[in-house]
Amino acid sequence: MRPNGERNETTEPFWGFFDKTMGTAESAKKELGELIENHGFETVKPVEIIKRLCFHATDKDALILDFFSGSATTAHAVMQLNAEDGGSRKFIMVQLPEATDEKSEANRAGYWNICEIGKERIRRAGAKIAAVAGEEAAGLDLGFRCLRLDTSNMTDVYYAPDAVTQDGLFAQVDNVKEDRTPEDLLVQTMLDLGILLSEPIAVEEIAGRRVFNVADGFLLACFDRDVTDETVTAIAKRKPYYAVFRDASMADDSALTNFDQLFAAYSPATVQRVL
């Protein structure tokens, strides 16, 4: 931040305007070093200052976004502040996966990019906060989910007629890219349906198949192969708001044919989707 829009003079970072007892770039670097020895950062924001800013500028249930999260100081500060005042603030950290120097200590320690350092800091800071909190740590939310921007999970299916071969037609039986996991499909489903990615997710086995239970039964999703009538019936009887399956999941034509009929019988209000 530069005063009066000046661009030609060397100025201090914003935390330089706070009392030095609240932290400096050097003390913040040392603080991070106590958690991650080989972090490789030269400029680090002090936790105490970010915590103070969050205290004065947000409510206890605020959602705090850091779009240049770096070493995840903001996440550390939010967790620490929640532990101190009983808040339920949440954080979103956004950071490009900028590679660390191949000759750096951070790279040699296995932190190939900045995001890996930030994730490890959140883990270790959370563990330290929990250790200090003792029995009170049971009420703290110190977990996080890590999401990576990627292309669609679905294969490209638009071809000119003269570009389609018989072998190519068989290759399109499965419309999901080969390297995608059920978790990838679940995230896509949640985004498509407008379900918050912070909702609780549990993994259950229903009639022998792996099923994701999102938001206490609001969404039930199964992306396993060879899903039978038994699986579909068991899910329908749970009466979820949304039920999502994979196009290539059905064990046979009979299961696919009976899909709508089973939901009509056991849970007609359920919104059904097939990827």
3 state SS of 120: helix
Q: Are 131 and 106 in contact (CB under 8 A)?
A: no
Whether the model pTM is above 0.85: no
The residue-averaged pLDDT of 17-42 equals: 82
Q: How confident is the model at residue 8 (pLDDT cuts 50, 70, 90)?
A: low
Greater confidence, 223 or 5?
223
Question: Tens digit of pLDDT for each residue in 134-144?
Answer: 888 788 999 99
Phi then psi dihedrals of residue 271, to 5 deg:
-85, 120
Say how many C-beta atoms besides its own lie within 10 A of residue 219's C-beta: 23
Q: Where are the domains of the chain?
A: 14-139, 166-274
CA distance 203 to 238: 15
Q: Are 253 and 223 in contact (CB under 8 A)?
A: no
Contacts of residue 250, Cβ cutoff 8 Å, sequence gap at least 6: 227, 256, 259
Greater confidence, 209 or 154?
209
Position 228 scores a pLDDT of: 87
Q: Is the pLDDT of residue 165 over 90?
A: no
Greater confidence, 239 or 255?
239
Position 174 scores a pLDDT of: 73
Question: Tens digit of pLDDT for each residue in 180-203?
Answer: 999 999 999 999 999 999 999 999
Position 2 scores a pLDDT of: 46
